[in-house]
Amino acid sequence: MAIQSYSLRKLEFQDAIDAAYELGFEYVELWPGHLPLDLDEGEFRRRVRAMRQNVLRRIAYGVVELTADHEKNRRVFELAKRLNLYALTASPAPDSFESVEKLVEEHRIAVAIHNHGPEDARYGKPELIEKAIARRHKLIGLCIDTGHFLRAGAKPDDVAKQFKDRVFAVHLKDVRSEGGKSKDVLLGQGDLDLAEFLRALKDSGFKGGLALEYEDEPDDPVPSIKKCLQAVAEAVKKL
């Protein structure tokens, strides 16, 4: 169980790390706002040291843009290598894949394509991601953002079953549809069948990061994040 640090985006880096520790997280997917690519070496080392002191292990980083600029992409992968990451959550441009395939093979770090809902013409629906990764390197797969897939009319548990070993990351959130619009809600209070989704991940052999991403109440998300964690614990009991 991890946290996407975007959930704590209104907090400065140290405060966000302290909050993650107090919430009991051992793993984190880092939002670039908390660890920018262009940090100077001294500040980079300070932030890594702070995470280590809080027993917070880094598993992923994103969401990042990947382009046809191979050297720019390489800098992202080199950061991931330094952080000992399992995956990068990303939105790769269509002309980036030649570069990305070389880099995942070289660094053995997965690229998890992130869906951004029905307005995402590139990767908003499962069939678009399936087409993008067909015949691509096996370390290029997807990040299931449960809330965005629900908004796009796709059931996250079906997506997990469809892609199986190509699922490298999860952004776990819930939404509730009301009058043709979707609203972010606490896990277990929306359209996500949390237990069935976790079952589908388990059955598919998922070994990536299950990152809670709570986007509502950005000024004070901690109490609601606690409730979301409790919902996960209750769902696990049903498995």
Instruction: Please report, for the chain, the start and end positions of each structural domain, with discontinuous segments joined by +.
Output: 2-237
pLDDT of res. 239: 87
Task: Specify whether domain 2-237 bears CATH 3.20.20.150.
Answer: yes
The tokens for 209 are 């990061």
Question: How many Å apart are CA 142 and CA 165, to the nearest integer?
Answer: 10
pLDDT single digits (tens) 200-229: 999 999 988 899 999 999 999 999 999 999
Place of tokens 């991931």: 80
Residue 236: band (very low, low, confident or very high) from pLDDT cuts 50, 70, 90: very high
pLDDT of res. 157: 97
Question: How many Å apart are CA 143 and CA 180, to the nearest integer?
Answer: 25
Mean pLDDT computed over every residue of the chain: 96
pLDDT of res. 207: 86
How many alpha carbons lie under 13 Å from residue 19 in its C-beta half-sphere?
Answer: 22
Please state, as a whole number, how many other Cβ atoms lie within 10 Å of the Cβ of residue 183.
Answer: 12
User: Which residues fall within 8 angstroms of residue 161, CB to CB, at 6 or more apart?
Assistant: 200, 203, 204
